[in-house]
Chain A
Amino acid sequence: MDEKMESGEGLGSKLGAAAEALVRVKSEMKKAIIGQDEALDQMLVTLLCGGHALFEGVPGTAKTLMVRALAAAVSLDSKRIQFTPDLMPSDITGTNVFNISDSSFDLVKGPVFTDLLLADEINRAPAKTQSALLEGMNERQVTIDGKRHKLSGFFTVFATQNPIEFEGTYPLPEAQLDRFLMKIKIDYPSQEAERAIMMAVNEGRPSDRLESSGIIPVMGPEDMAGVQAALPSVRIEPGIMEYILEVTRATRNHEAILVGAGPRGSIFLLQGAKARALVKGRDFVTPDDVVAMVAPVLGHRITLSTEAEIRGSSTEEVMAAILDKAEVPR
């Protein structure tokens, strides 16, 4: 279906143009990223919804490259911060530096003043530094020395967490996790994809060099703003809205879940499903869009019960069990 629909043909002019543009962006990103199709879709969904995403995956799965590829394809600026235990809030936001020549303070902007920010290993920095990013994520502004500074309208944080090492880390609190639109799980590439990556390197196209991939910008910031504005026009059947509600509310009554997803969960699930429909070249949502968004959008908003954790249940399993009980509208 997706191959056919991803042409974006036959849609309304505004939505059709948006869908076609997104399809082009994705194909440009695929020049640098081999495999990881679902992760690319989810990144585009995050950008479309104006949210932030938390990457989870083992090192060396092209997370940084993905962000850079996205920025290159849509002509946006990108920066990267490596979070460490000694990172200070001012290292993120920036600071006022005294200029001796005119006896004034000049603002030296931190890496937060960008469009796409890759916050690498966000859980390595203490809570105070993490919270410096919160204001920017929520309000798209930061306060430096009591003065507010506006961030880019496209400001999007792609944060990574290392799922294996927990020593010397500061796990993100639930309230902070809830601010991320979705958690993008990045698995190892398939055998076929890994072979293709090896072949590319062997032919002198290093997989971590964006320049060698030949990505060309296919959209500008204004185009992206237009696509974002088109998102509310994506049609959703009332039955699918009920389906979203049913799934979200089921997380609050499930025996394996201690704390379920809040209203932000259902709102983000709705937005995510609409954005995914557009990324897939459609101007209407199908139940498949909702199903695809359930684990990434709701997974990090729930807290498993102690019994479930002792049993060894994972969030994905619990979400799958919830979907298994919900009736698909058709």
Chain B
Amino acid sequence: MAYDPRRPNSGTSTPQPTPPPPPPPPAPAAAETTEMATALEEAKPADEAGTTDSYKLKFCTVCASNNNRSMEAHLQLSGAPTAYPVISFGTGSLVRLPGPSITQPNVYSFNTTSYNQMYEELNSKDERLYRGNGILNMLDRNRHLKWGPERFQDWVPGMPRVDHLSKGDKGAIGTEGGVVDVIITCEERCWDAVVDDLMNKGSALNHPVHVFNVDIKDNHEEALTGGKAILDLANRLNEAAVAEHRVHGSAGWENGTGPARQSFDEKVPEILADWQEKYPHLPALWTLAWL
């Protein structure tokens, strides 16, 4: 009885704007998600089988336009062997993509334009140019990750995102509740915008969220190395969180000693400091905010 409501739902919304999946370049995880929609039933119980072991932090990646850096990180996080729950946003007022010259960017609005639309439009405008500067490749990658760019300031934390699951967005499993544990921005400006916006939202959920910044230059190469570094950070954070879950879970709180008793939250500054030593060229920042 319990699965019934979700099924018709997924049935109705899948035909909608799901991008046609022509060449699937980021192959490893793509197969998993396409299969996911159909195999939801099996996926769920399997996921819950070892409750404590499969505990995962929920992530959110943020950059200016929700196209390059946050999407690369989105890909890395959702495609990792652990397949983290992840959503992504942009903090700019509009989606800006490079155009024929620096004064003529291609501008789209958030939330209402799909990556597929952008792809088709730029492809028809000047395929050579946009193929050459990598924009088409990027959009192609993006349209296989999720439907379209979303604006952070328009996000209502706690608003269920069940429809994203049915749309086949990668990383949607686990973020149905519209709540995340960790936000990672890719630029200091975005970190400022995110922290500021969370203050404005009034923290109605009373849910703590760690907000990190990993400073990444806005180009494809840096986005790739940055994305991998973010994945590394995510792995370290998740490891600590899982450890905490276990200590307090089966083993029990009293059994741990010393640092093992330290909670995930307490370890965060330490984890970031360690991580920063490995990636000194990606200056990082952190705070604990509220959703």
Q: A and B: real partners? A: no
Write the residues of chain B forming the contact surface with A, with a CB cutoff of 8 angstroms.
none
Write the residues of chain A forming the contact surface with B, with a CB cutoff of 8 angstroms.
none
